[in-house]
Structure 1
Amino acid sequence: MTSEHGDGQGTRLRFRTLLYRFIFFDWLFQDAGGARTPVERHAATQHNRRMSKYLPVYLRRWCFLTVLGFALGCLVERALQATLLSAWFFTWTCITATGMVVIAVAWIFLTQPQPP
């Protein structure tokens, strides 16, 4: 896979970068609050609205992480009787569930019709 934002020579992304982009979506969006002019702010907001179509994909990925963490927590608690390790998995499940809420709220607000 080649970099879209690289030097234009088709540099390959490192695995760490690909994994980060697979799980986290912040690299898709622009900071509208950091814009200096209203035109830049509008352009960033419009860009973010266009990129919001990818948020359901990330929501599914985070849902998978949440279910996986919960299933591993249950498995470790039942099969191995390792309560500390299962607590780690359940804590991870709470964190990923919170991430799902953040993604859902961002998606809902970015897909709302823009006021005139």
Structure 2
Amino acid sequence: MQDLDFSTLLYRYFFFGWLFRDASRGNMFERSAAWRFNQGQARWLLTYMRRWLGCGLLLYGLGSFVELMLNAPGLSALFYVPSALSVPVNAVIGAAWLGLKALPGPL
């Protein structure tokens, strides 16, 4: 197996775009095949949701600790902002998962 750079591994740990194929290109058969492939890969989206949820909760906890225990509200923003950004990322992942599970394939 090919060794990957740490930055590539980190990207793949948090972002799932590399798992899917483009279902908007090609003829009808190629689009349908890509859609079926993407539906099979949708099982990994829940794993990505858990990762983002865990990181969001960890960052929120660190922000709370820094704000309350160290009395540094300005520094706590470095943890609160990424924590808050994990919420819309999870919403997008959830919408993608629901779409791949519920919507019909391309015509």
The answer, yes or no, to whether TM exceeds 0.5 is yes
Between 35-44 and 70-79, the greater mean CA deviation after superposition: 35-44
Once residues 113 and 78 of structure 1 are traced to their aligned partners in structure 2, the CA distance between those partners, rounded to angstroms, is 46
Q: Which has the higher contact order (CA 8 A, sep 6+)?
A: 2
- Identity percentage of aligned residues: 38
Q: Which residue, out of 82, 86, 91, partners 1:96?
A: 86
1:55 maps onto 2:45 in alignment: yes
For residue 88 of structure 1, report the CA deviation from its aligned partner. Answer: 2.3
Q: Which residue, out of 23, 26, 30, partners 2:21?
A: 30
- TM-score w.r.t. the length of structure 2 is 0.89
Q: Identify the residue that residue 111 of structure 1 maps to in structure 2.
A: 101
Which digits, 9 at most, give the CA deviation of each residue in 1:35-83, with x for residues without a partner? 0322221111111111001111111111101101110110110011111
Q: Identify the residue that residue 11 of structure 2 maps to in structure 1.
A: 20
Once residues 39 and 85 of structure 1 are traced to their aligned partners in structure 2, the CA distance between those partners, rounded to angstroms, is 53
Between 86-95 and 58-67, the greater mean CA deviation after superposition: 86-95
Once residues 87 and 72 of structure 2 are traced to their aligned partners in structure 1, the CA distance between those partners, rounded to angstroms, is 23
Once residues 89 and 69 of structure 1 are traced to their aligned partners in structure 2, the CA distance between those partners, rounded to angstroms, is 5
Once residues 23 and 75 of structure 2 are traced to their aligned partners in structure 1, the CA distance between those partners, rounded to angstroms, is 41
Structure 1 SS opposite 2:12: helix
Structure 2, unmatched stretches of 5+, are: none
How many residues are paired up? 106
Structure 1 SS opposite 2:4: coil
Q: Which residue, out of 62, 72, 79, partners 1:72?
A: 62
Structure 1 residues 101, 24: closer, same or farther in 2, change over 3 A? same
Amino acid at match of 1:39: F
